[in-house]
Structure 1
Amino acid sequence: MLQEITVTETRKTQSSPYRESHSRKFDLIHTVLHLSFDYNKQHVLGKAVLTLTPYFYDQKVLELDAKNFIIHRVALLGKDTVSIPFTYDEKVIRIDFKQAFTKKDTFNIYLDYTARPNEITQEGSAAITDAKGLYFINPLKTEVDKPRQIWSQGETQSNSGWFPTIDYPNERMTQELYLTVDAADITLSNGLLVYSKNNSNNTRTDYWSQKLPAAPYLTMIAIGEFAETRDFWRDSIEVNYYLEKAYQPYANLIFGSTPEMMECFSKRLGVDYPWEKFSQIVVRDFVSGAMENTSAVVHFDLVQHDSREHLDNPWEDIIAHELFHHWFGDLVTCESWSNIPLNESFATYGEYIWNEYKYGKMAADCDFDENLKQYLRQKSAHKKDLIRFHCRTQEDMFDVVSYQKGSRVLHMLRNYVGDDAFFAALKLYLTNNKFKSVEIHNLRLAFEEVTGEDLNWFFNQWFLNHGHPALDVVYAYNEQHNTVKVTVKQIHDTVELGVYKLPVAIDVYSNGKTTQHKVWVDKAEWTAVFEADAPIDLTNFDADKQLLAVITENKTTKEYEYQLDNAPLYLDKAEAVDAIIENKPEGLTPKLEQQINSLINHSFYGLRELGIDLLMALPDTFHYVFEKQLVNMATQDPKASVRTNAIEALSELETNKFEPIFIKATQDSAYSVVAAAISALADKQGNTALKYAKGYLQTRNKVFQMRLSSVIAQYGTDDYTNYFQQQLQSAGHYAYPMLNNYIVYLKKQDSTMLLNAKPALTKWYQANKKSVFKNVIENLKTPYTEKYNEASNALKSKKLNEADKIKWTAQQQAALSMINHITEITND
């Protein structure tokens, strides 16, 4: 048994409160909701019946979460239904039964209420930007190009904004929902649609039932004019896709891999998809990227796209992520938000499992590498435990630690125990804990039962601590004896983080043969000597490229070149390319030329992109050696991202002769390539770029418009205020960069255009108030502040004649007037 890591007491001193699991006084067994909707007031008219029993101890006071309701009646159902008194503080309904219920008692509470979710003010998170629970989109149909919709978002504890419940992740209930809607609307909820009944007033009531228990935050509804496309998994489980009617032709293009994903995950985990159906719906203005509601996933509207947009991003990762949640998060749910990595780390790792199965390890590693980079880039994340019992709010748990870092920790765990044990342990974990809530130790115990090992050392080190190791790896070769001495120093703060125990593979390459040594790096300074039969060409520390660590090595360029040629993994080659680039090659050796050609002609697109990176790191005079290859990649490569990178590389060459290629690329099938081509033209000739940009002003793709608007902001002289206002209205998650480009554009225009833009910009800001948006808009003051200061300084001179006084006073007053106008845009 390996020794546990000691966590010092000083590290545990926290300013944020301890976030424990909710104490369960009652067990919420079942919820029945009868709902209709007032679009004018944006209210939910609800009648709820909740079936409960004391969890263990006798109870006579019931507390139900209900945010900003109007409570019309509360009653205890039975032979004689009687209204019962209650108190309500706008957040919690408190019912004192006077007489205690025992755990042998089961009772039904009836509530007649009006929910007012649009009037709730509750802080969201980086992942979930708002927390009202239920949203009316374009309720009065005043926005021309936006459908009227209603949809819910329950995570973390927001569903109590539209129905009364015990709103905690360690609660579970079955449910029935009766949704009365306009006859033309489609509804979606959890479970199965049992029946639909047409009513006499041009409405319809849909009855949805989910017989399997799930946490209240996973309850969902969506209502609107959607087009449904039907599919199946194993010919028995419905797999349906809901899109706006204009996008129904692309439903199978977008979601068609779903049944294959379900089969992949079911077989890999040894646990079949556990829910009654699997539906996916795309809604407008969603407050997150997607949500894994049991059997009914909600996606934000970028997932809804056409065949041209599909070339740049098929959104498979997000589809896989939400589907994997149906095992990790839905079937087995974290008991507290402190344990949210048991949901989100797994779902993020589900993306890797899908990519590995569908596209191979090289593609999976290429995509997965970004997770490590995202975590490492956020320095503040390095101080956060993965399982975090101390946080400001539960919303703070939704970050790169719970998602990206956690997925990398699972990858290390898989690497350590091996594939067979990893997936056997997951099967045991899911089977033992199905329809239950769990904490991190449930996962550890499952792995220990399968492997027979004490794994406290791993879980304490990675799940219950923060940070990561920083390693300095030095290779000392003895050519006479064909040995290499490997020294690994843990150069992070070992007082704070401890000395890591790192199971790692070291590959030794010699005379065309690779020998792998599995070792434990478990000292602050660790050394080992490895011997070969012939001179050693390369020693590759962390040969599986699985460590979550910052690693520096004393390899030479020659060793990295050998690694690039001979080490098998994508990450081996990416590491070698990065190192060669960092060493700044001074010229083009025959070896380097051969390696670049090998990369840019590789069958895997990620290596072709590395090849472009490597050749562009050469001094400018050598770029033209690969001019023909770059042109070929820019025009003919089958992968849009490679064509994009090649065009960006060509744009860096100091010549105008590629302009015809850029112009031709403005008609490329992929928007990313078109955007790169227009940007390349802008680098050479702004007016030419603007000419081709104008042809795409009505294109819906938001990522494309974000890049296009940058060109317009930089070179546009005509009135583009309507364009920017339209883009802002539909920008969604891309509102910040779009607003920033708009402000760059407005700063270059005269005051008349700014005043004309003011009403629409004010209206947009007042509907989307955020401090980051306010700060961007405040930048409009810069040129006027400069003019005001210039005039103020000039007016201080005692030598001014009357005409100059009038001129400078007018400039000062005009500038001040514009500053006041800009202030009015963001006034509360």
Structure 2
Amino acid sequence: MRYYLLLLFTFFSCLVTAQQTDVVDFKRINANIMHRGYENVVTGRIFIDFQIKKKTDTIFLDAINTRVRDWHLYSEESKEPDYRAKIFNSDNKIFIIHNFKKNKKYKLHLDYGMTSKKAMYFVEKEEYTQVWTQGQGKYTSNWLPSIDDMNDKIEFDLSIIADEDYYVISNGKLLNVEDDNGFKTWHYDMLQPMSSYLVALAIGEYDKKEITSKSGIPIQLYYYPEDSAKVEPTYRYTTQMFDFLEEEIGMPYPWQNYKQVPVKDFLYSGMENTSCTIFSDDFMIDEVGFVDKNYVNVNAHELAHQWFGDLVTETSGIHHWLQEGFATYYALLAERDIFGDDYYYWQLYQYFKELEAQEQAGQSTALLDPKSSSTTFYKKGAWVLHVLREKVGDKAFKTVVKRYLNKHAYGNVETNDFISEVEKVSGMNLSNFVQVWLKSKALPINEMKTALQSNETSAFLLIIEEHPYLTYRTDDDDNYIPSSLVTQLPDGFYPIQVAVLKETLSKPEYPTYNDLVKEAFASKNLHLRQALALNMSEISEDFQQDYETLLNDQSYVTIEAALYNLWANFPRKRNEYLEQTQSVFGFNDYNVRTLWLTLALATPEFKTDKKQDFFEELVSYTNPEQPFSLRQNAFGYLSSIGVFNKEALKNLVEASKHHNWRFKSFAKTLLENLSEDDRYRSIISNLQEEN
């Protein structure tokens, strides 16, 4: 028996490593899924249509922690199941064993139950559990038996049963919603195939705003009922960007509709699921928040992915830049359409500086290295497209992109598929370009600087970087940059002004120092004033009154920095500063409020009868029902004042098991530090044993 099992294991292991896409083509997965909101259990019934490409006796589905309850295999010419077929259910796959015939079509029916440990997340939100999925990589098989190979494009049609109080959002068009004894079944239909990692599901309490693109595509913007006032600033420019990308790319949006859904404690900024972007609800912002932290770039990036990543998908990680580099570049083009050329080149400059810093740290990799960093795939990928467009010309570039997308629509691509199209249209040999920009890990710094010289803003930033002394030479010097530059520049764009100001603030001995600082305080430009808040931590009495005006700015970043710096520099006025800012909360992470509570606790004479209330409020923000960004702020400030109660420690132990790895890592490190404190060691140990 052991020998037989060993042979069986060896057989299946060999099968798994083979390219199943050469043997079978999965056409359609029609899934009926039952959501149990109180636990990470998924039950479902799926019908899978597939066609055999080569004669074989075994195919498989990816399915993690799955128990098959019932199943039947049908051939295309029979309505009765074929009882000769066998099934083998391992920990991560379902093998179907049968004498499959070449070119023959089959349908597989499965009833299953899964315990989802990845990809589907059950998140506490106030008085209910929000559910959302994140399948990028090879994770959808943790909640839906499917094919993890991104080279197998499948039409996914989902029907989801959930509590009647919840809204269910998935890929494709919502056909109808059926009521059934306290539950609702939501039927979604996709018309075109996609990779399984792009299948999405979100369940929660939502309202929506519906708009329409110029081409007639329905766009649904979801939001929490309590966030109705945040809809406009959050989704600002959505229609403009959608219309721009359709025109710029030269190919109509390839799906039936487009949806955007905020969720709590998402793993990333956003994810470009086909026709259904899921993004972090930290980007649901109000009018003030828009100044410093808005959704515009993420919005444009995930929308661009609907073409680059969803319509055409990389064959492997070697070609990841075809998704992330393209999405970054086209998002930047969409922002250029909104904010102008200076903004576009300023961003290219920022990307250049990130890439340069990466190279200086000895961490540069080639763009075609599958282990490259996000900075390489995103930022260098965008730079490649910018330089390539300049090289071949605007008209040829747009022709290439259109031909490339049409030729490989709903399929998979490699870098050569794109490069060869560029060579055909332009008539150029790009072998040297590919070697320098794609295959070499060295950054072509001189070429990048030359490209930046074509715009006055980015060219000036290079000058300031290389010759900072120009900001403080005398009026007699040829290249002198006077302090009045701050007021002479147009208000519409600020990076040059900020660069001059920051350089001056770093050298108080500059002859122009006082004049420039005074002009900056007098400016109505929020970004320039924010530079003062962030770069002027020591405040002389000469600037005290000017600095105090920063507390009135419509910027949560400015208020946060100004409150702390004023509190630190002028102890006698701490009560006044705290009174002035006590109603400001800030972003969704309550950046201003958590700082305010900490300063209020650290100011002995301020509202002595409210100290316990302040502490309990700060502790309440560590609760699992709060977003992890707010919890991290609260934990950080409790650590700064050196006081934790049992409730906060319990919440910290829970946080050390959170699904977001960055937050989990933060919590683990803090727990380790606190465990060295005699006050907390035994409490933490007991709490960890209980969990």
Cα pair distance change 1:235/1:335, threshold 3 Å:
closer
Q: In 2, distance between residues paired with 1:723 and 1:656?
A: 34
* Partner SS, residue 141 of structure 2: helix
Whole-angstrom distance in 2 between the partners of 1:755 and 1:774: 17
Deviation at 1:779, TM superposition (A): 3.0
CA distance in 1, matches of 2:427, 2:43: 55
Q: What corresponds to 2:563 in structure 1?
A: 678
User: Are residues 1:609 and 2:501 paired?
Assistant: no
1:758 paired residue among 635, 646, 649: 649
3-state secondary structure, aligned to 1:90 = coil
Residue number in structure 2 paired with 1:732? 628
**Superposed CA offset, 1:316-354 (max 9, x none):** 100000000011001111111332111111111122111
1:642 equivalent in structure 2: 528
Following superposition, the deviation at residue 621 of structure 1 comes to 5.8
Aligned partners of 1:22 and 1:696: how far apart in 2?
60
Structure-2 change in CA distance of 1:652 and 1:662 (3 Å): same
The 1:325–1:398 alpha-carbon spacing in structure 2 relative to 1, beyond 3 Å, is farther
Distance 1:381 1:442, change over 3 A: farther
**Could you tell me which residue of structure 2 aligns to residue 81 of structure 1?**
81
For residues 597 and 366 of structure 2, the distance between their equivalents in structure 1, rounded to whole angstroms, comes to 38
For 2:195, give the aligned amino acid. A
Of 153, 162, 182 in structure 2, the residue corresponding to residue 202 of structure 1 is: 182
Taking a change above 3 Å as real, the CA distance of residues 707 and 569 of structure 1, as seen in their structure-2 partners, is farther
Residues 177-188 of structure 1: matches in 2 within 5 Å?
177-188=158-169
| Letter matched to residue 169 of structure 1 | M
Partner of 2:196: 216
Within 2, Cα distance between the matches of 1:106 and 1:184?
40
Partner of 1:135: 121
Q: In structure 2, which of residues 59, 65, 71 is the aligned counterpart of residue 68 of structure 1?
A: 65
Q: 1:422 to 1:727 in 2, by over 3 A?
A: farther
Cα pair distance change 1:398/1:167, threshold 3 Å: farther
* Matching residue within 271, 276, 300 for 2:251: 271
- Whole-angstrom CA distance in 2 between matches of 1:701 and 1:689: 25
- Counterparts in 2 of 1:124-523, with a 5 A limit? 132-138=118-124, 145=126, 147-199=128-180, 201-234=181-214, 236-379=216-359, 382-389=363-370, 391=371, 399-469=374-444
Q: CA deviation at 1:589?
A: 6.0
Give, in angstroms, the shift of residue 733 of structure 1. Answer: 5.1
Deviation at 1:665? Answer: 2.8
**Deviations 1:539-564 (CA, angstroms, capped at 9, x unpaired):** xxx44228xxxxxxxxxxxxxxxxxx
Tell me the distance in 1 between the aligned counterparts of 2:377 and 2:143. Answer: 28
Candidates 36, 50, 53, aligned match of 1:52:
50
Alignment of 1:559-708 (within 5 A): 568-581=455-468, 585=472, 594-603=481-490, 604-620=493-509, 622=511, 623-633=513-523, 636-637=524-525, 640-649=526-535, 651-653=537-539, 655-685=540-570, 688=573, 692=577, 695-696=582-583, 698-702=585-589, 704-705=591-592, 708=595
% identical equivalent positions: 21
Q: Which runs of 5+ in 1 are unaligned?
A: 1-18, 121-131, 392-396, 472-501, 505-541, 547-566, 785-814
Change (3 A) 1:347 1:756: closer
How far, CA to CA, are the matches of 1:146 and 1:642 in structure 2?
42
* Structure 1 residue 778, shift from structure 2 partner: 2.9
Q: Give distance in 1, aligned partners of 2:593 and 2:90.
A: 44
**Contact 1:63/1:95 (<8 A) preserved:** yes
Change (3 A) 1:222 1:238: same
Structure 2 CA distance, aligned partners of 1:588 and 1:695?
46
CA distance in 2, matches of 1:421, 1:133: 41
Q: Are the counterparts in 1 of residues 653 and 667 from structure 2 also a CA contact under 8 Å?
A: no
Q: Read off the aligned partner of 1:643 and give its amino acid letter.
A: R
Which sits farther off after the overlay, 238-247 or 332-341? 332-341
Please tell me whether the aligned partners of residues 28 and 52 of structure 1 are also in contact (alpha carbons under 8 angstroms): yes
Query: RMSD value over aligned CA atoms?
Result: 3.1
**Matched-pair contact (CA < 8 Å) for 1:173–1:213:** yes
For the Cα contact (< 8 Å) 1:765–1:826, is it kept in 2? no
User: Is the contact made by 1:596 and 1:615 (CA closer than 8 Å) also made in structure 2?
Assistant: no
Give the direction of change, closer, same or farther, for the CA distance of 1:39–1:716 in structure 2 (3 Å limit): farther
SS at match of 1:382: coil
1:649 & 1:219 partners in 2: Cα distance?
Answer: 45
How far did residue 452 of structure 1 move? 1.0
Give me the whole-angstrom Cα distance separating, in 1, the residues matched to 2:576 and 2:621.
Answer: 19
Q: What per-residue deviation string (whole Å, max 9, x for no partner) do you get for residues 747-800 of structure 1?
A: xx5xxx556743343343354684443223333467x5xxxxxxxxxxxxxxxx
CA distance in 1, matches of 2:638, 2:80: 64
CA contact (8 A) 1:22 1:170 kept: no
Candidates 32, 38, 41, aligned match of 1:40 = 38
TM-score computed with the length of structure 1 as normaliser: 0.73
Equivalent residues of 2:37, 2:131 under 8 A apart: no
Cα 1:820–1:184 shift into 2, 3 Å: closer
* Residue 95 (structure 1) shift: 1.1
* Partner SS state of residue 779, structure 1: helix
**Inter-CA distance 385–415: structure 2 relative to 1 (3 Å threshold):** same
Partner of 1:115: 114
Q: Which amino acid aligns with 1:610?
A: A
8 A contact 2:55–2:100 mirrored in 1 = yes
Q: 1:774 to 1:573 in 2, by over 3 A?
A: same
Secondary structure class of the residue paired with 2:277: strand
Aligned-partner Cα distance in 1 for 2:545–2:475: 28
Match of 2:96 in 1: 95
Deviations 1:698-720 (A, max 9, x none): 55532734983796499466565
State the SS of the aligned residue for 1:574: helix
Which stretch shows the higher mean deviation, 162-171 or 243-252? 243-252
Q: Is the 8 A contact 1:743 1:779 kept in 2?
A: no
In 1, the alpha carbon distance for the partners of 2:217 and 2:647 equals 55
Q: Give the whole-Å Cα distance in 1 for the aligned partners of 2:310 and 2:25.
A: 18
2:557 alignment partner, SS class: helix
Counterpart of 1:801 in structure 2 is: none
C-alpha contact (below 8 Å) 2:291/2:555 kept by paired residues: yes
Of 618, 638, 642, which aligns to 1:742? 638
Structure 1 CA distance for aligned equivalents of residues 640 and 36 of structure 2: 41
Stretch of structure 1 that moved more, 165-174 or 711-720: 711-720
Equivalent in 654, 667, 672 of residue 773 of structure 1:
667
Opposite residue 608 of structure 1, the aligned amino acid is: Q
C-alpha separation between the residues in 1 aligned to 2:145 and 2:570? Answer: 61
Structure 1 residues 818 and 412, CA, compared in 2 at 3 Å: closer, same or farther?
same
Q: Is the 8 A contact 1:292 1:323 kept in 2?
A: yes
Query: What letter corresponds to residue 114 of structure 2 in structure 1?
Result: A
